[in-house]
A and B are shown apart, each in its own frame.
Chain A
């Protein structure tokens, strides 16, 4: 297992370097000057030229790239051009907020999605099944900006149960977590249902029933573990995605998270901040996939055995 993890981490290094190179090239090809963007309508050619020279933005691209890479390898992601703060500090400051939102949204998603999927599978083609699947379909289909507005209007404006937006206490997380979690719960519920239905068709489930086991035990002890394998994959990837920053949710609810920093970096062509944000998101996705694979091995002894033999997953 340890060798597997080490191999996967080592394999991710060229991926990360490749991504920085691609991003660097793209940002130099795509039109946009970060200094001109800072000055906007107060743009003065002399000031722009001077500040660009002072920030070494006109140095050769190769020089800038390797300078960035060398610093990045030492943990220094540079200074944000627009925000004039160390990139690592900006991401480290925003990430805890995103982490809280992601954790809350994931909790909502799993607490709603998994039981809904199980019940739907067990009560297949009943009213309950249709109700839960309809609920999950709405969650998957409804754009987040629309459901956010709806929730704000109903629960904050009309009922005054919760605040409209902001990030000043635990109750400020409730609405955004529900908005984000509902969307993810829909996916989890549908996948859990279909995966459980697939597993329950297998012979060993029939054998378990034939042995006289209660249906509840058949599902929880025999069927669920195998049915959760693909669900766990999606859950891990969803968490990684949430941790990269739910941009729209953060913007609507005023949560100062990683997503907003990333979008800001793109719009202002802030190379150091964008590099840092993308690298950070890439690391999270790599880790998310790694965690999914490890969980696979926990759930499925066949995969665990393969990993021990050194086979690729």
Chain B
């Protein structure tokens, strides 16, 4: 650290403290529990508010109703798919400008996807593009370009896949598929997305300030191709403490309070005369579930897994721990997802569970571990204790093992976990996002299900390429019956509503279709 540099930084910090006001007029003030780290959607896997507001995608998943979405044109005005399902042709909107004034062309699309597949980028979201022909060679460093990506003219992009993939269009609506400008991004290099000077998109907002671990500020893009946003700006404050967040909201310093960050505050807001009409809720197209590791005893026995399913009183947990704000799920797909159909309800029957355990050779019960990470929500921690007590009635002597998240992930990767809970909200509106994630050969291993059923693996791979929607959905329904009903490979719990409390001045706030905390604020307004 050189002395002049340190003096400059100290002076900057002092000056910014004196001059900066907390927010501009007509600025929506929201919060994040942790710093998003970057605006570069290719370099993150869990913070998408910046990409969703600074960039656009070829297609967008528009929220058309609670938990419902439709794919609409984004940067691509129209598109077509070849009869064999392999070639997608996108016609780019003409006249769309990046924040630096450069015009969007097909070459930018080709560049963006090539950048993600370029091993030098070290991108995290490459899975969304691996279906493209030549993608694997590019990732492996065997090719300098991606053979399946072509700009056939200034405004036309052709993408060729290695096999038909029904979810490809839906994937292109996910934030990882945000489109960048070639010239600017190449020049910014590894600084892209880290500062306002090195961030450039086509989106409704422009990154104007980025202070790590403090806040980011975005200002309205006056020349946005869909029309200027109603807001003048967005201020995203990093607030890691739940109580501080609640105080900030109640004192009027923040406009939107995401109840996911402080779920224990939900009863207060729902019961408050001041706030109950300011709550905005929407279903979350996501599922809370209990993982079961079949590679570890006693869960290698399907009877034990079924007993575990039957010994959890999910309705009571939903009612007491989550204030009844959600619905039980019994399959793999949550409500609202494409191909969703109700599955056979999982019975809560601790007596029957006990009998199954005895049949499996555990008449006196069996010890299991329930693993959790200390950084997870306190409501999850409460749920663990509830489940520990519930499954005891069936004979499961559960020990709750709490570690930090790094140790938990390491244990899971090593296949050492017994059972843990998690939630998965849809990245894109397709059943592949759930089945492949959990029960494909790689998903089953990396998430420590070890549901090593070659037929299930084959069916999941087959479903990816099916082009007949009805047949595809039928296949997923059969898979759900097998995986959940017959194999008891996991315990589906429930899908929960996602609730926010907003200040009275906030208008047009809509919970996104998938119930994410990350969303676009383009349509939001302030009175």
Interface status of B480 (Cβ within 8 A of chain A): no
Interface status of B194 (Cβ within 8 A of chain A): yes
Supposing A42-B45, A254-B239 touch, asked if A37 and B406 sit within 8 A by C-beta, the answer is yes
Supposing A40-B409, A153-B247, A163-B253 touch, asked if A93 and B212 sit within 8 A by C-beta, the answer is yes
Q: Are A168 and B43 closer than 8 Å at their CB atoms?
A: no
Interface status of B163 (Cβ within 8 A of chain A): no
One of A1-9, A96-104, A186-194, A235-243 contacting the partner: A96-104
CA distance A42 to B5 in the complex (A): 38
Interface status of B468 (Cβ within 8 A of chain A): no
Interface status of B96 (Cβ within 8 A of chain A): no
Q: Output the nearest chain B residue to A97 by Cβ-Cβ distance.
A: B13
Supposing A157-B247, A254-B238 touch, asked if A31 and B9 sit within 8 A by C-beta, the answer is no
Q: Are A267 and B241 closer than 8 Å at their CB atoms?
A: no
Interface status of A30 (Cβ within 8 A of chain B): yes
Separation in Å of the A186 CB from the closest CB of chain B?
23
CA distance A269 to B407 in the complex (A): 10
Note all chain B residues with C-beta closer than 8 A to A46: 442
* Closest 10 pairs (CB-CB, A-B): A32-B406, A31-B410, A256-B213, A96-B13, A256-B214, A42-B45, A96-B10, A164-B247, A31-B407, A252-B241
Supposing A156-B247, A164-B251, A252-B244 touch, asked if A170 and B18 sit within 8 A by C-beta, the answer is yes
Note all chain B residues with C-beta closer than 8 A to A39: 45, 124
**What total of A-B pairs shows CB separation below 8 Å?**
168
CA distance A83 to B16 in the complex (A): 22
CA distance A149 to B413 in the complex (A): 38
- Which residues in window 250-301 of B have CB below 8 A to A? 250-251, 253
Q: Are B194 and A85 closer than 8 Å at their CB atoms?
A: yes
Note all chain B residues with C-beta closer than 8 A to A36: 409-410, 413
Q: Output the nearest chain A residue to B176 by Cβ-Cβ distance.
A: A42
Note all chain A residues with C-beta closer than 8 A to B6: 92, 95-96
Q: Which residue, of B6, B409, B422, has the highest number of chain A Cβ atoms within 10 A?
A: B409
User: What is A's interface to B at a CB cutoff of 8 Å?
Assistant: 30-33, 36-47, 50-51, 54-55, 75, 82-85, 88, 90-97, 99-100, 149, 152-153, 156-157, 160, 163-170, 172, 251-257, 260-261, 264, 267-269
CA distance A92 to B442 in the complex (A): 41
User: What is B's interface to A at a CB cutoff of 8 Å?
Assistant: 1, 5-6, 9-10, 12-14, 16-18, 20-22, 34, 37-38, 43-46, 119-120, 122, 124-127, 139, 190, 194, 211-215, 237-241, 243-244, 247-248, 250-251, 253, 375, 404-407, 409-411, 413, 422, 424, 442, 445-447
Note all chain B residues with C-beta closer than 8 A to A166: 22, 214-215, 237, 253
Separation in Å of the B515 CB from the closest CB of chain A?
15
CA distance A163 to B470 in the complex (A): 57
Write 25 A-B pairs (CB below 8 A) sorted by A numbering: A31-B407, A31-B411, A32-B409, A37-B406, A40-B405, A41-B424, A42-B124, A45-B445, A51-B122, A83-B212, A84-B43, A84-B194, A85-B212, A96-B6, A96-B13, A97-B13, A100-B14, A152-B247, A164-B251, A164-B253, A168-B21, A256-B212, A261-B213, A267-B405, A269-B406
